[in-house]
Amino acid sequence: DAATATRREFLNALRAELPRALAHLQRSNIAPVDLAQAAIGPGMAVFTRYARVLDAAGRPLSVREALALINQTLDEVLAEQEGDLDPDTRWAVAWFEQYGFGEGEYGVAETLSKAKDTSIAGMVRDGLLVARAGRVRLLRPAELDPEWDPAADRRVTVWEIVHHLVRVLERGGEEAAAALVARVGSGAEAARHLAYRLYTICERKKRPQQALSYNALVQSWPEIARLARERGGQMVQGRFA
């Protein structure tokens, strides 16, 4: 017979099993716009394993409440993927979640940079953001240097790769994006994963136009990867090298 579980036990099971399901979905190159819906299946498989899931007051969780916990756990799993990112990118993701490409106070940005082990001055030099008159904002893809050469950049970040790819894809299509991927090397796959995370942030923060850009990048990825291989980029364990 199916067992009864507490809300905490259900959450623990989700946190144990959803990362594997998410990794499988991302390997299959599911579009970010479909990711949350696709994650419902594995999450509900955990929920329906139990006869009942009880909250702290002993009341059974509804399906709606279970879905909310599944979405919460999905967001946590995507956020945990940031742990492998470079400090500049981790700063940029945290800033983007709060401000998007809008302005924020320099003092807040500086405090966050210390927490992420990076510096505002360094990110300004590297062309990730602008800081003036006590305000800071991330550069939009269209504002990035069109002559950017990853081979000449001593501090290439995953954030840069994603947004240069967005810029190039929107202006020059998949061929142009493939040319950049072939030059970027192993950072390309990390950029694809980050696009999922940025899409979920945009969806939650109601930024549909930005969400479209990240979704388009992931959806175009199989063709971009194929064209990059033809250009000489070599895939090693799912990554270009």
Q: What is the pLDDT of residues 125-145, one digit of tens each?
A: 999 999 999 999 999 999 999
Mean pLDDT of the 197-216 span = 95
| Residue 236 confidence (pLDDT) | 34
Angle at 202 between CA 10 and CA 198, to 5 degrees: 80
Asked whether 95 and 109 are in contact (CB, 8 A), the reply is: yes
Please name which of 149, 218, 139 lies closest in space to residue 179, comparing C-alpha atoms: 149
- Does residue 69 surpass a pLDDT of 80? yes
Q: How is residue 155 annotated by DSSP?
A: T
Mean pLDDT of the 21-39 span = 91
* 104: helix, strand or coil: strand
Mean residue pLDDT across the chain: 91
- Structure pTM? 0.82
Cα 213 to Cα 16, 18, 87, distances in angstroms:
31, 26, 23
| Residue 113 confidence (pLDDT) | 95
| Residue 1 confidence (pLDDT) | 58
